[in-house]
Amino acid sequence: MSGKSTKPFRAIVVGGGLVGLTAAHILTKAGIDFIVLEKHKSILTSRGTQLAIWPQTFRTFDQLGLLETLQPILDWCKRTIVLSAENACVRGRTVCWSLWRNSKYHSKCNVYNTEADSYSRFGYAVKFTQRHQLIKFLFDSLPETAQASILLGKAMEKITSSEDGVTVACDDGTRHEGSIVIGADGVHSKVRLLTRATRFAVEPEELSQDQKTPFTTTYRLYFADLPMLPGLAPNTKYDANHDGMCAQIVYGKDSGAFGLYEKLEKPTCTPKRYYTEEDKEAMLKRWGQLYIAPGRTISDVDSFRLGDTGMINLEEGLIDDWYWKRTVLVGDSVRKLEPHAGLGYNCGVTDLVVLVNKMRKLLLEDKSPGSPSLEDLFHSYQADRAEDTLAMSDTSMKAIRMLAWPDWKYRVIAKYVIPYLPVSSMAVKSIIGPLVAGSPVLEWLKEGALPASMVQWKHHPSV
């Protein structure tokens, strides 16, 4: 059979988080019918951590008409201060990836000040926001008709594919029919789990452990929000490093957050870990006497925290199988990146750009494409994203290890190589810069005037 469908095309997006809501915006603009199934009964299920928005994602927001209204929830850092967690000695050189033209090192204050050149390389600076703020923004900025397609309290239980479509069954007894399933349900993706079980003709619980939990956890994170503390500068990031741990404060103009990262005794691929208050207290006890900023220990800073604290495992990894029949994965369902480089959400947005570009082109040729055509599309999507994904994964893995040293080799590089060689600028020019400049755009949607930049973007809309 050809797998040809006679039904109108509809995408079922599983997961109503950041990537799922971004998919709703892009599909709306593309004129592709969709629904989003979110298992929680509220879009705002948890506050989460800060996240970075990179220049290529700002281009997508511009095309979606969101750039101007997004600005009030954005914040930024002008400088990074790197110090020893043991004695608060400022090392001065940042080991985080920089996107700026000439990050000027000021020896008198041991700081990189990037304010003057923050927009010069790509026209857009990397900025950050709170996860819950961006989720709320993405939902509130959807048209009412699209908001009505976000279905809450829909925990998926089963996916059934046929020659002409797919059906998703939820735990409340509802069934939802469509043409494809887009798994945007994150690192612990149930879409990924069910798809693999179907692929190998077994029940989900019969899958091997590496198929159930394909990502590896090497570090965990304790985090909380912070007010502005005396003696610490706004729009500044503080990175304190040490063997097996690092601590970080990220300040915007009037508030911020801090995180404590700890290397596990050994990497694990176990299921999701839920930490208790006792676990948090034990972690603080292990490292609380160390410094997180000049004149501020971790325990001192933690005493000023605002609201609830969080503690999570930081999974890392990349899967090989991004699709199966009429189901395709995007975002953290495909790759999980450690958050220091701030690339995770941005990679998910790029997934959607590539996927919907190809989907829209196919639908212009065939309004009800069959299974073979869709599998070819998904294969092409994965192939287009594979090389960039490997580079982004490598960048993210190195970012945390240059701060929370897992062994003596990283300690030597961080203390005695990076401070004296332009490693960060070389990485921007040879790795990160080309990846950002080569990022795709929505080919069929107009873009506003690009800000002036040093780097020439590779892709532009065709309209």
Distances (CA, A) of 251 to 80, 96, 107, 240, 306: 10, 15, 22, 14, 14
Asked whether the predicted pLDDT for residue 393 surpasses 60, the reply is: yes
Choose among 328, 345, 329: nearest CA to 60.
Answer: 345
- Rounded CA-CA distance 131/74 in Å is 11
Distances (CA, A) of 11 to 48, 139, 177, 184: 27, 18, 9, 12
CB 238 within 8 A of CB 83: yes
Other CB atoms within 10 A of residue 284 CB: 16
281-315 pLDDT, tens digit per residue, is 999 999 999 999 999 999 999 999 998 999 999 99
- Rounded CA-CA distance 97/111 in Å is 15
Q: For residue 216, what are the β-bridge partners?
A: 316
- Cβ contacts of residue 426 below 8 Å, gap of 6+? none
Written as one string, the DSSP assignment of 185-216 is: --TT-HHHHHHHHHHTTS-GGGS-HHHHS-SE
Q: What is the pTM of this model?
A: 0.92
Asked whether the predicted pLDDT for residue 4 surpasses 90, the reply is: no
Place 163 in a pLDDT band, splitting at 50, 70 and 90.
confident
**% of the chain exceeding 70 in pLDDT:** 89
- Rounded CA-CA distance 50/47 in Å is 9
Confidence (pLDDT) at 107: 32
Q: For residue 310, what are the β-bridge partners?
A: 223
- Which helix (H) or strand (E) segment is 391 a member of? helix 371-401
Give the CATH number of domain 77-125+216-316+401-431: 3.30.9
Q: Tell me what the mean pLDDT of segment 108-119 comes to.
A: 38
46-105 pLDDT, tens digit per residue, is 667 889 999 999 999 999 999 999 999 999 888 889 999 999 998 764 533 344 443 333
Q: Tell me what the mean pLDDT of segment 361-367 comes to.
A: 96
249-271 pLDDT, tens digit per residue, is 999 999 899 999 999 999 998 88
Q: Which ranges in the chain are annotated with CATH 3.50.50.60?
A: 11-72+126-214+318-400
Q: Which ranges in the chain are annotated with CATH 3.30.9?
A: 77-125+216-316+401-431
Other CB atoms within 10 A of residue 451 CB: 14
237-253 pLDDT, tens digit per residue, is 999 999 999 999 999 99
- Between 101-105, 147-151, 409-413, 423-427, the lowest mean confidence (pLDDT) is in 101-105
Give the CATH number of domain 11-72+126-214+318-400: 3.50.50.60
